[in-house]
Amino acid sequence: MGDYLNHASVLIVSDDTEFARSVAGRWHAERHAPEITLVTSDVWHGSSAASYDLVILGPVRDRKTSAILSALRSYPNVTPVCVSEDDKEISFLQSTHPHVLIVPRQDGWTSTLILVASEAIRRVQAVARAQRAERLAIENQGHAALGRYMLEVRPSVNNALTSILGNADLLLMEPAQVTAECRDQIRTVHTMALRLHEIMQRFSSLAAEMRAGEKESQADTPEDSHHLVSGT
């Protein structure tokens, strides 16, 4: 069992105190154990399971097992594991809740449960990592598209800024043609246009550096390959 268990969370739902104590004790005896929370079926609520990686369902009163497993279907990111010693109940649960991992409560059941639960947690976390990587890839694609768009519109933006600055300069060179209030507003426009121009210049410099870095990287690759072949 790897370190991933130290970052996992497990909810044990059972009205059998001995069951909950046995599972928690057996897991804590391992080198790596998840964070474990114990609750009874009276205080358990479906929404509380959403924050856990795994839910282990043990013996509960009033035949609530099926109802609890049905409620867990609303949280596909949570893996349910059910432990039962009743063969008829196991058969019923397998047919009505095929998504649930079921562990028979037989000799050595705690060891089997820990193995099954640990593998389930590993898979849950692997899926979560894959989903995060996919989201990051989509975000990076969006950023790349924005960067390409900025490169495409840069000449148009520079032309517009040059026109604004030129016209503002002409107006400021003829103070008699405008009021004092207008001159202040023109100076503000002129200042803001200069700032935008500086930003575009920095963007242009960054783009040039990136292109130079790409060319250098491409130039290094054949050379490295040549050294590898020569060395071989």
Of the CA atoms within 13 Å of residue 169, those in its CB half-sphere come to 8
**Cα(70)–Cα(203) distance, rounded to whole angstroms?**
55
Structure tokens of 117? 């639960």
155-204 tens-digit pLDDT: 888 888 888 888 888 888 887 777 888 888 888 888 888 888 888 777 77
In 3D, which of 145, 134, 147 has the Cα closest to residue 211?
A: 147
26-78 tens-digit pLDDT: 888 887 788 899 999 988 888 878 888 899 999 999 889 999 999 998 888 88
Q: Is the pLDDT of residue 147 over 50?
A: yes
Q: Would the pTM of this model clear 0.85, i.e. be above it?
A: no
In 3D, which of 120, 122, 116, 118 has the Cα closest to residue 104?
A: 116
Can you list the alpha helix ranges (DSSP code H) found in the chain?
17-28, 65-72, 87-96, 109-172, 180-231
Mean pLDDT, residues 126-139: 80
Percent of the chain with pLDDT over 70: 85
